[in-house]
Amino acid sequence: MAKIAMLGSGFIGRFYADSLQGQRSRDKIVSIYSRREESAKKFAADYKCDHWTTDMEEAINHPDVDMVCISLPNNLHEAAVLACCKAQKAVMCTKPLGRNAEEAKRMMDAVEKAGIFNGYLEDLVYTPKFLKALASVKSGALGRILWAKSRETHPGPHSEWFWDKEQAGGGCMLDLGCHCVEIARSFIGKDIKPIEVMCWSDTQVKPIDAEDHAIGLVKYENGAIGQFEVSWTFRGGLDLRDEVMGSEGTIWLNSFLRTGFDMFTTGKGADYVAEKAESNTGWLFPVGDELNELGYNHMFADMFNAVEEGRAPQETFYDGYIVNAVLDACYRSSASKQWEPVKLDVWRGKEGVEKEKPLTSYNEQFYLIKEEMTHFGSQKLILKDKKTGQIVEKVI
Ligand SMILES: NC(=O)c1ccc[n+]([C@@H]2O[C@H](COP(=O)([O-])OP(=O)(O)OC[C@H]3O[C@@H](n4cnc5c(N)ncnc54)[C@H](O)[C@@H]3O)[C@@H](O)[C@H]2O)c1
């Protein structure tokens, strides 16, 4: 049983708490820190938590607490992590780990020096659909992964600090791109080095200094390409979609809108529909179990199992650091309009991976380019002569 201190009682703190104490969970939030007394008290009452405080260190140092869950604005993650190191308490931190790679690296170095458990709460690589898709990719069902695309767009976050570049560290590219980068990186292989990025970002709609829309390409050392599409200006709810293309197959994932649950209401009795839904009348796309569909249940199960088994979880502060480093390069590319290298002071994956270009041999003389059954019933082959390079077509 994990005994948790929750830091932050806002949007994600409550989603996490619903997951942590959901169903017949053994795990319990035993202390809550919130900036304002009334929020701390309300959270403590809602989640039957005995201890509340407006002093962050008091929550971390509470004698019953063995694990800390950071659900604070981005600019407060580092101070919270350092306090956990001081108290020698296991720590899990929401995304993005840092506002930039420098901050993330300081957090990673601190937890590793302190020798404490560290988990990066990237829920979208724990959704049931993602886990199943990843297992298919790992089993080779898609062959060599060539392209992994992830899209997260919605009408914008719900608290003021997100819209302030200094507190948040960036706009939608950092806020949503961190999910997308880790999704694509997981499909391509977390041991494959992201080497350079090309990115466009702009502020198209909102009166803010940060970007509200961005699209980026992340090139990996083995030749695979990651792609993200993120926006705080999308209308119509929370759009979460991934696409993976391999030499032997394809996966399309739609995690939130249009997932097979369509509902119409004139508005009578209309209430909460799903995260960031923009309407509660007309045709709606509710989500059956948001906690599960968004990966929170599987994520916390991995975190607590990892602690009990004395292993690292699927997502650690190191992963958070890599994601921040990729996004730092995206901000540089967006400004320079050039491909920019991903600067990694720490890299623990493979080095010097060759770009793969396997040629499919058809017989001794030819490589196979394509094989197809035509609508008029004959089998067509497009082949390349291994010696001359000539491309020929054969109808069998
Ligand atoms: N899917 C996800 O993983 C996901 C979703 C949303 C948010 N997040 C992350 O969770 C973190 C918190 O986001 P949120 O949406 O819960 O924010 P929020 O504004 O709803 O909640 C932040 C909480 O932090 C506490 N706090 C302490 N000091 C504060 C200060 N100086 N200013 C503001 N709040 C202060 C308050 O208790 C507040 O309730 C962010 O890092 C965000 O990126 C993750």
List the chain domain ranges: 3-122, 125-341, 366-395
Protein residue closest via CA to atom 32 of ligand 1: 73
pLDDT lower than 70: segments of the chain: none
* Angle at 222 (CA atoms; ends 389, 371), nearest 5 degrees: 40
For residue 159, which amino acid is it? S
Q: What is the pLDDT of residue 56?
A: 98
Q: What is the pLDDT of residue 271?
A: 81
Instruction: Quote the ligand 1 centre to 43 CA distance (angstroms).
Output: 14
Protein residue closest via CA to atom 8 of ligand 1: 12
Instruction: Quote the ligand 1 centre to 72 CA distance (angstroms).
Output: 4
Q: What is the pLDDT of residue 113?
A: 98
Q: What is the pLDDT of residue 356?
A: 78
Q: What is the pLDDT of residue 355?
A: 87
**CA 124 to ligand 1: nearest atom:** 1
Name the residue of 38, 54, 71, 323 whose CB sits within 8 Å of the most ligand 1 atoms, as the mutation to test its pocket. 71
Residue 259 to residues 175, 252, 254, 255, 287, Cα–Cα distance (Å): 24, 12, 6, 7, 8
**CA 35 to ligand 1: nearest atom:** 27
Instruction: Quote the ligand 1 centre to 355 CA distance (angstroms).
Output: 41
Q: What is the pLDDT of residue 396?
A: 82
Instruction: Quote the ligand 1 centre to 164 CA distance (angstroms).
Output: 13
Instruction: Quote the ligand 1 centre to 11 CA distance (angstroms).
Output: 6
Q: What is the pLDDT of residue 170?
A: 98
Protein residue closest via CA to atom 10 of ligand 1: 71
Ligand 1 lining (C-beta closer than 6 Å): 8-13, 34-35, 39, 71-74, 76, 94-95, 121, 123, 159, 161, 175
Instruction: Quote the ligand 1 centre to 77 CA distance (angstroms).
Output: 10
Name the residue of 11, 53, 60 whose CB sits within 8 Å of the most ligand 1 atoms, as the mutation to test its pocket. 11
Report CA dihedral (75, 76, 77, 82) to the nearest 10 degrees.
Answer: 130
Instruction: Quote the ligand 1 centre to 8 CA distance (angstroms).
Output: 6
Which CATH fold would you assign to the domain 125-341?
Answer: Dihydrodipicolinate Reductase; domain 2 (3.30.360)
Q: Are 218 and 147 in contact (CB under 8 A)?
A: no
Domain range 3-122, CATH architecture: 3-Layer(aba) Sandwich (3.40)
Q: What is the pLDDT of residue 118?
A: 98
**CA 13 to ligand 1: nearest atom:** 16
Instruction: Quote the ligand 1 centre to 395 CA distance (angstroms).
Output: 62
CA quadruple 47, 50, 54, 55: dihedral sign: negative
Structure tokens at 154: 């919605």
**Contacting residues for 47 by C-beta, under 8 A, at least 6 apart:** 17, 21, 29, 32
Q: At what angle do helices 37-46 and 11-20 cross, to 10 degrees?
A: 20
Protein residue closest via CA to atom 26 of ligand 1: 35
Instruction: Quote the ligand 1 centre to 285 CA distance (angstroms).
Output: 26
Protein residue closest via CA to atom 39 of ligand 1: 10
Protein residue closest via CA to atom 25 of ligand 1: 8
**CA 12 to ligand 1: nearest atom:** 16
Instruction: Quote the ligand 1 centre to 56 CA distance (angstroms).
Output: 14
For residue 337, the Cα-to-chain-centroid distance in whole angstroms is 25
Q: What is the pLDDT of residue 358?
A: 77
Task: Summarize pLDDT for 71-121 with one digit per residue, the tens.
Answer: 999 999 999 999 999 999 999 999 999 999 999 999 999 999 999 999 999
**CA 33 to ligand 1: nearest atom:** 37
For residues 19 and 238, give the distance between their C-alpha atoms in angstroms, rounded to a whole number. 20
Q: Are 47 and 13 in contact (CB under 8 A)?
A: no
Instruction: Quote the ligand 1 centre to 66 CA distance (angstroms).
Output: 22
Instruction: Quote the ligand 1 centre to 359 CA distance (angstroms).
Output: 50
